[in-house]
Amino acid sequence: MFLLLCLVGLLARGDAQDRAALWRGNDRSGRCQYTFTVASPTEASCPQTGSPEVEGLKARLSLLETLVSRLPGGTPQDGGRSQSRLQEELTRAMGERNLLQGEKERLERELGGLQRRLEETQREMERLRNKPCPPQTPMVPPRPGGSNPMSHLLAHPNRQGDSSGLRDSTWQSGHAGFQEVKAEVTEVPAPEAYTGCGVLVSVAEPVTHRKAESIAGKYGVWMQDPEAVAPYGQEMVWRIDTIGSDVKQMFGYEDMDQLSRGFPSKVLLLPEPMESTGAALYRGSLYYQRRRSRTLIRFDLASESVAARRDLPHAGFHGQFPYSWGGYTDIDLSVDEQGLWAIYSTSKAKGAIVLSQLDPHSLEVKKSWETNFRKNSVANAFMICGRLYTVASYTAPNTTVNYMYDTETSQGTALAIPFRNKYRYNSMIDYNPAQKKLYAWDNFHMISYGLRLGRPVGA
Ligand code: CA
């Protein structure tokens, strides 16, 4: 384009050689350049109109035009396309940069929290060190010649039953205190096979179905409708990558196999952006929390439109009462054999988990329960048969389902059911009552866990 302008300029000069002329054009850097020309006193140095030089220039100009049009992106249309591609790339790169920036800030906050917890633990250790041990029947015999002040803490196998640290022969010599503890751990009655609506007995090793392709999939939610309705069948798998501030795309896969291959057959666009990884699918609708609000939306998959919307009364949102990993997971929706539930907290509950059963049609709260278990102390929660379960850690590879709350009795119970975070960053865990499995999103990976349910006491 620059060459063309220069050559046109030269031609114009040739035509106006016999009088003063002002010519304007862009220079190489895009600035406007003015050229003022007057006739030379030496006639011989001025080429005449239609001279061989001008004809030669015209011929070279048309040759250059031909060459320029053959260059990739040489025509104005191609130039426009290439520019819009560059613009798209730039927007994408800036989007990823913003995502990473957000992630960095979140990790910094998390680091701050961990440092505070470390300090608290150190203070607690200091307090324990200074506390005299009761003289009667110690739990663990003193190690020969050793005086580790923390040995009384190491006596207990941890919650995962990992006793690999107990290698000292003295510790395994059959001391009465230790055997007592061991008996408590192992004397769990063997669960009977039970296929009804039961209590959680154990969680199997996770099975990996798919790894997300981009940074947008570090966290997310994936699900199958336990009571699917037309036009989508029960095999259909849905997935939403939830990193970013404008989460609206929902990908549908024909079945688990297509999810594993990464070939979506349907992309739905949500009318309003989503927050959290707490979305749930039930009877042909996606239920989710609208970004930066306590508004719940029921999005009908068949008509691809909003079927209901309602505020969840007093619910904290956008980082007020998230799970321990953050991610604005203030409102977690869950589906079980008894219907649709919301797991959240309120200012009145001071961060303790509040549980509400929702009318799946209107989103109205049918009934609520307030637990005494802090929401930000757990990694995630899910419902099975009207019972709430929480997972202790989202990063520890071997953690536990550590608490259960029964809505029938309004009673909470501490548990220690082993649970594995294979990829060490579990951002979503939910139960599918049709598959009797937990679906989870662990550090880019869409995984599921087989479950063993047992007969409830008195059933
Ligand atoms: Ca959940």
What does residue 137 show for φ and ψ, rounded to 5 degrees? 25, 80
Strands 332-336 and 339-344: antiparallel
Percent of the chain with pLDDT over 90: 53
| Cα 201 to ligand 1 centre (Å) | 18
Q: Using the 8-state DSSP alphabet, how is residue 132 labeled? A: P
| Inter-CA distances, 57 with 3, 8, 13, 43, 409, Å | 12, 9, 12, 20, 95
Cα(354) to centroid of ligand 1, in Å? 13
Token pair for residue 195? 């296929």
Distance between Cα 394 and ligand 1 center (Å): 12
Taking 70 as the threshold, does the pLDDT of residue 420 lie above it? yes
CA 430 to centroid of ligand 1, rounded, Å: 4
| Residue 165 resides in a domain | no
Q: Give 431 Cα–ligand 1 centroid separation in angstroms.
A: 8
Could you please report the per-residue DSSP string of 61-86?
Answer: HHHHHHHHHHSTT-SHHHHHHHHHHH
What spacing in Å lies between the alpha carbon of 33 and ligand 1's midpoint? 65
Say if strands 445-454 and 199-211 run parallel, antiparallel, or are unpaired: antiparallel
Least confident of 95-109, 140-154, 268-282, 326-340: 140-154
**Residue 61: pLDDT over 80:** no
How far separated are the first and last CA of the chain, in Å rounded?
A: 84
Q: ∠ CA 399-405-410 to the nearest 5 degrees?
A: 165
Q: What is the pLDDT of residue 26?
A: 66
| Core vs surface per residue 238-252: b (16+ CB within 10 A) or e | bbbbbbbeebebbbb
- Domain-located, residue 432: yes
Q: How far is the CA of 118 from the centre of ligand 1 (A)?
A: 27
Q: What is the Cα–Cα distance from 454 to 53, expressed in whole angstroms?
A: 98
Residue that wins the pLDDT comparison between 96 and 417: 417
Cβ pair 455, 193 in contact under 8 A: no
> Does pLDDT of 426 surpass 80?
yes
Cα separation, 332 vs 42, in Å, equals 89
Q: How far is the CA of 51 from the centre of ligand 1 (A)?
A: 83
Segment 327-355, tens digit of pLDDT:
899 999 999 999 999 999 999 999 999 99
Closest CA to 405 of 428, 393, 389, 426: 389
111 in a structural domain: no
- Specify if 87 maps to a domain: no
Q: Is 299 helix (H, G, I), strand (E, B) or coil?
A: strand
Q: Which residues on adjacent β-strands are paired with residue 441?
A: 428, 446
- Measured in Å, residue 142 CA sits from the centre of ligand 1 at 44
The encoded tokens of residue 295 equal: 């508004």
143 Cα: distance to centroid of ligand 1 (angstroms): 44
pLDDT value, residue 139: 41
Ligand 1 centroid to residue 192 C-alpha, Å: 27
Domain count, the chain: 1
**Distance from the alpha carbon of residue 392 to the mean position of ligand 1, in angstroms:** 13
Q: pLDDT for 185-238, tens place per residue?
A: 444 455 456 767 899 999 999 999 999 988 889 999 999 999 999 999 989 999
Could you report the per-residue pLDDT of 18-59, keeping only the tens digit for each? 445 566 666 666 565 655 555 554 444 444 444 555 566 676
In the predicted model, what is the mean pLDDT of residues 83-90? 84
Placement of tokens 């300029």 in the chain:
9
> Do the domain assignments include residue 304?
yes
How far apart are the CA of 120 and the centre of ligand 1, in A? 28
- Between the CA of 255 and the centroid of ligand 1 the distance, in Å, is 22
Name the least confident of 52-61, 122-131, 162-171, 250-259.
Answer: 162-171
- pLDDT for 110 equals 73
Residue 83 exposed, middle or buried by CB count within 10 Å (0-12, 13-18, 19+): exposed
Token representation of residue 399: 């953690």
pLDDT value of position 94: 82
| CA distance linking residue 224 with residue 354, whole number of Å | 25
- Residue 253 domain boundaries: 199-454
CATH code for position 442: 2.40.128.630
Mean of the pLDDT values across residues 164-193? Answer: 40
Distance 429 CA to ligand 1 centre (A): 4
**Residue 346 pairs with which residues in a beta bridge?**
315
Residue 366 inside a domain? The answer is: yes
In a domain, 115, yes or no: no
Task: Please tell me the least confidently modeled range out of 33-37, 189-193, 381-385, 390-394.
Answer: 189-193
CB 4 within 8 A of CB 69: no
Residue 173 domain flag: no
DSSP 151-220: HHHHTS--TT---TT---TTTTS--HHHHHHHHHHH-PPPPPP--SS-EEEEEEEEEEEEE-SSGGGSSE
For ligand 1, the distance from its centroid to the CA atom of residue 278, given in whole angstroms, is: 6
Using the mean position of ligand 1's atoms as its centre, give its distance from the Cα of residue 198 in Å: 18
Q: Is the pLDDT of residue 376 over 70?
A: yes
Q: How far is the CA of 162 from the centre of ligand 1 (A)?
A: 27
